[in-house]
């Protein structure tokens, strides 16, 4: 049968990829996620090892070892015995740009599309790999240059907000919720239910001598709530009274898709 002329053409970005195309694409989604994870872990602990990366990524240590060699070959990380893994300057740039895109996408999804704040993280994790920095700039401009994501994390990941983990606060302290570093959907839903959202005010009523259980009185909630270490580690706060910080976080969370 004679082949008829086809005038339609599939755009290059939509064509099926062959083996050669995959080999050419060095910076894959998996590579980006690993680099971002390593960069974030560097800010949590003094030395980042294979075991910590495996826990964070929820993969086998052998998979981490294989990926680290690839990341090193790409010039994204340095891996030295007894000194752990560190992002290179190129790796840090990749991680910071990826986080910026992620947090801007979350803003777009909550503020413009009116999606709930506890349902956008996973979607943003997928979309962040497919938009350019130019598109991110357009989103930032369209959304009025937000300074944080809906969960309070700075759009510019290099920016220090001087917040403190709830875990490290003393009893009887008045606090303002600054950000949430654990963005699992179910975790965010729980925090919403007990009123611990960015900009919310609370007071630490008491702290158990063992187990680090904090009893909180949260503004707008009828009952006090007790939270354990998993919550107090992921919730970051400021001591109440810093009006400038409170004004910033309040203005950025008013339209954050809180249900």
Q: Is the dihedral of CA 146, 35, 86, 165 positive or negative?
A: positive
The whole-number average pLDDT for the span 80-109 is 95
Domain total for the chain? 2
Q: Is 39 domain-assigned?
A: yes
Select from 38, 66, 87 the last residue of a domain. 87
Residue 10 lies in a domain: no
pLDDT by residue (tens digit) across 9-56?
A: 656 655 565 544 444 458 899 999 999 999 999 998 889 999 999 999
pTM: 0.85
Residue 241's pLDDT is 76
State the residue range of the domain holding 55: 27-87
Each residue of 106-164: pLDDT tens digit?
999 999 999 999 999 999 999 999 999 999 999 999 999 999 999 999 999 999 999 99
227 bridge partner residues: 214
Where is the domain boundary, 87, 118, 137?
Answer: 87
- Provide the terminal-to-terminal Cα distance of the chain, rounded to the nearest Å: 60
Sheet containing strand 164-165, edge to edge, reads: 164-165, 235-239, 174-180, 201-207, 214-218, 225-227
Cα Rg, the chain, nearest whole Å: 21
Helix ranges (DSSP H) in 170-222: 185-194
In contact, 73 and 88? CB cutoff 8 Å: no
Domain containing residue 238: CATH number: 2.30.30.90
Residue 20 inside a domain? The answer is: no
Calpha distance 129→122 (Å, rounded) = 12
Task: Decide if 3 is inside a domain.
Answer: no
Is there a domain that residue 46 lies in? yes
Which of 87, 105, 122 lies at the terminal end of a domain, its last residue?
A: 87
Considering the domain boundaries, does residue 239 fall inside one?
A: yes
């Amino acid at each position: 049968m004679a082949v008829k002329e086809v005038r339609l053409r599939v755009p290059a970005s939509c064509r099926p990829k062959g083996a050669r195309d995959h080999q050419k694409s060095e910076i894959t989604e998996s590579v980006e996620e690993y680099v971002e994870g390593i960069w974030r872990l560097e800010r949590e602990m003094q030395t980042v090892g294979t075991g910590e990366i495996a826990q964070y990524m929820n993969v086998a240590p052998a998979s981490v070892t294989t990926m680290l060699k690839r990341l090193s070959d790409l010039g994204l990380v340095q891996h030295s015995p007894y000194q752990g893994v560190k992002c290179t300057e190129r790796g840090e740039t990749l991680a910071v740009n990826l986080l910026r895109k992620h947090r801007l996408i979350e803003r777009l999804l909550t503020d413009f599309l009116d999606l709930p704040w506890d349902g956008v993280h996973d979607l943003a994790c997928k979309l962040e790999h497919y938009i350019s920095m130019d598109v991110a700039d357009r989103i930032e401009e369209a959304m009025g240059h937000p300074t944080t994501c809906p969960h309070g994390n700075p759009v510019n990941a290099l920016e220090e907000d001087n917040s403190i983990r709830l875990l490290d606060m003393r009893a009887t302290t008045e606090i303002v919720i600054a950000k949430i570093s654990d963005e699992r959907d179910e975790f965010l839903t729980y925090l919403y239910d007990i009123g611990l959202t960015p900009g919310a005010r609370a007071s630490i009523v008491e702290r158990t001598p063992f187990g680090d259980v904090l009893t909180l009185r949260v503004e707008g909630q009828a009952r006090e709530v007790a939270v354990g270490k998993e919550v107090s580690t992921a919730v970051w706060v400021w001591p109440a009274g810093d009006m400038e910080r409170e004004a910033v976080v309040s203005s950025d969370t008013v339209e954050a898709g809180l249900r």
